[in-house]
Structure 1
Amino acid sequence: MFVYLWVLFGLFALHEDIVLRQHGIRFVFHGFALVNALVLAKVMLVAEDLKLGHRFQARPLIYQIVLEAFILATLFIAVHILEHTIGGLIAGETLAASVPSIGGGGMQGLFCVALILFVALIPFFGFRHISRELGPGRIKAMLFGRRESAAQAKPPV
């Protein structure tokens, strides 16, 4: 979880760096990717322990994958807002000044960030659930194991 989130947030920081450089701004703090990945991986573990999104286990796998991606994207944004609001209040800011603007502010920015997070989490949950369905180590062996040529492969039984 942590590594996936760290790569994801690192790519977001890299994108932000590119956009700011286009406007002549040469500063982006990349350390937030590491810290946010640690915090939000913990949020993912707590959500997993609470079994959020496990209602759809009897349905096709895509329902559970999409639902968990949606729940976690929503939860990530809520935790981000809560984290910044508490930090601002501790620093002596007013409640209104403590609430962060997400995606440039407004509902459109919030929706864009939520959509990006949602789509970015689908492969994580897809890989995870498909791996669980195939059995321990099967996907890892398929992706990282040695492949046989078509002539050497055994015919299916």
Structure 2
Amino acid sequence: MSDITIDGKKKSFKEKFKEEFIEYWINVAYLTFYFGVFVTYKRLILAQYEIDFEEYGTAFFNAFVLGKVVSIIGMTKMGKKNINTNLSVSTLYKTAVFTLCLVVFNALEEFVVGYFKTSSAQEAIVILSHHLGTHEYLASLLVVFTSFIPFFAFKELARVIGHKTIIDLFFKRKEADL
């Protein structure tokens, strides 16, 4: 989002804060929905083997944290870079960049948690390598990557045609449709 209003004035702190706050909660809502679907999928698969699995709180917590990470990365030069090409390329670029950033953030988080559990950098690295190499982690990464494709497609579309136009297209009924 731009720091300049429609009439050419610089946005106030309050306006910027409001935009970032709304953007963050949209991110959280979208990611919560997507991760909730994934948790439900895991729950249903494991139910076939009579294994209880109900980690919906984890889906919300992950969405809460990832929503903030996406917001922070979005404020950086990496997140604001607009590729001068079609929307499919810019969408896939941002999907890949944000997914890689999340891998780095997740690796740092796992290392710090491992270090506090063991008080040893070497043991923390061993814990990190076990975590990053699991099938579950790779599946989670695939879910994040695929969830980011429509997420960034809408963001890129809104950047090009405007947020208001996107909202109007999806939530306002056209007279011709009556």
Could you say whether these structures have the same fold, taking a TM-score greater than 0.5 normalized by the shorter chain as the test?
yes
TM-score normalized with structure 1 length? 0.79
Q: Which sits farther off after the overlay, 31-40 or 53-62?
A: 53-62
Structure 2: runs of 5+ lacking an equivalent: 1-26
Give the CA deviation at 1:23. Answer: 1.8
Residue 89 of structure 2 corresponds to 63
Could you tell me how far apart the structure 2 residues matched to 1:76 and 1:7 are?
A: 18
Structure 1: runs of 5+ lacking an equivalent: 153-157
Residue 155 of structure 1 corresponds to none
Residue 139 of structure 1 corresponds to 166
Aligned length: 147
Could you tell me how far apart the structure 1 residues matched to 2:160 and 2:93 are?
A: 17
Could you tell me how far apart the structure 1 residues matched to 2:85 and 2:103 are?
A: 27
Structure richer in helix, relative to its length: 2
Give the CA deviation at 1:83. Answer: 1.8
Give the CA deviation at 1:135. Answer: 2.1
- Runs of 4+ deviating beyond 6 Å: none
Give the CA deviation at 1:149. Answer: 2.8
Give the CA deviation at 1:45. Answer: 1.3
Q: Percent identity of the aligned residues? A: 25
SS at structure 1 position matched to 2:156: helix
Contact map agreement 1:69 1:122 (CA 8 A) in 2: yes
The superposition leaves residues 115-154 of structure 1 with CA deviations (integer Å, 9 ceiling, x where unpaired) of 432222111111111122112311111111012236x8xx
Amino acid at match of 2:70: M
Residue 97 of structure 1 corresponds to 127
Amino acid at match of 1:116: V
Could you tell me how far apart the structure 2 residues matched to 1:138 and 1:103 are?
A: 42
Q: How does 1:44-63 map to 2 (within 5 A)?
A: 44-52=70-78, 54-63=80-89
* 2:122 equivalent to 1:122: no
* 2:112 equivalent to 1:86: yes
SS at structure 1 position matched to 2:176: coil
Contact map agreement 1:54 1:64 (CA 8 A) in 2: no
Could you tell me how far apart the structure 2 residues matched to 1:134 and 1:90 are?
A: 47
Could you tell me how far apart the structure 2 residues matched to 1:142 and 1:56 are?
A: 23
